[in-house]
Structure 1
Amino acid sequence: MNTQTSRFRRIAGPTGPLVGAFIGALMVAVLAACGTGDGGSDGETSAPVTSAEPTSAPETTEESSVPDDETTPYLDPSLGDSSKPGSSMTISGTVEAGVEAGCLILEYDGTVYGIFGNYDSSVVYEGATVTLQGKVDDGMMSICQQGTPFVVEDAQSAD
């Protein structure tokens, strides 16, 4: 009996010789694909590419180490700061629940505002009609994911 065939039949077990032959052919194909592992073709091997010239760090001058004002990005520290003068405004309407739990919104003049800040929760709550004085803070991050952030400074019931 052929040793290779008997190995395949043992692998195949009760499923039959065709499945064993298929598995055997698959194993031979996998082993052949592994090859010698040198990655080359026709017995060629590849060597790492090296440069004949030594590399050196680029020269730095005092002039090049200082960024140019024209290329240096400028971040205005007042962006997102609700304490900017003249940014206070008053909005009014009915407070609604936001899409996230615990978040409140108010639509005023076609803009949806997310309500934030230290306000009296007995005045500002879902369903309340209110007048809010405060500032828009476009730089504020919140979990509410809805509306333009509005930081309340004063809240009055409009009922």
Structure 2
Amino acid sequence: MKTLIKLLKNPLGATGIVLLVFFAVVAIIAPYIAPPRWPDEPFRMPRYGYWSEPRPPQPGHPFGLSSGQYDIFYGCVWGTRLAWIVSLLVVGLSAAIGIFLGMVGAFYGGLVDEVIMRITDIFYAFPFLSAAMALAAILGHTVKSGVIALVTFGWMSYARLIRGEVLRLKEV
């Protein structure tokens, strides 16, 4: 609680918290502020014509229309929701894998720990973003492939951190 109060007293920290809460609220209430035209496909942007020129903001389209006549406001709202879903999935899955491998390696020790840590080192050898983009390109251009790629190259720091904590607790 003290950390939160200290963070809120800092203008940059308070701004960050306000933005985080704002985007979380937008992601949660997306179906109400930008109702999907197709309930089965809410992430499909509605198209309002075939003009090649963008249109300025107007009633019903507060951010205007893009050059393909796609509603920019709708894209921003549902893009925010998708970004939150992807980020929570990536962090959750990466943490679960890393925590599991770190605990197993530290608990059993010996050869098991060595193998897990060498695999971690191998994954650390690749630049995170480059490797994730390459894997996502190989898997195909879908959100699912992006999540898989980010999780594949995102679990190592969790494994190292948890391994260190478990080893510290074993020594006590």
Tell whether the structures are fold-level matches, with TM greater than 0.5. Answer: no
Structure in which a larger fraction of residues adopt strand: 1
Normalising by the smaller structure, the TM-score range is: under 0.3
Bigger-Rg structure (1/2): 1
**Structure number having the greater helix percentage:** 2
TM-score normalised according to structure 1 size = 0.24
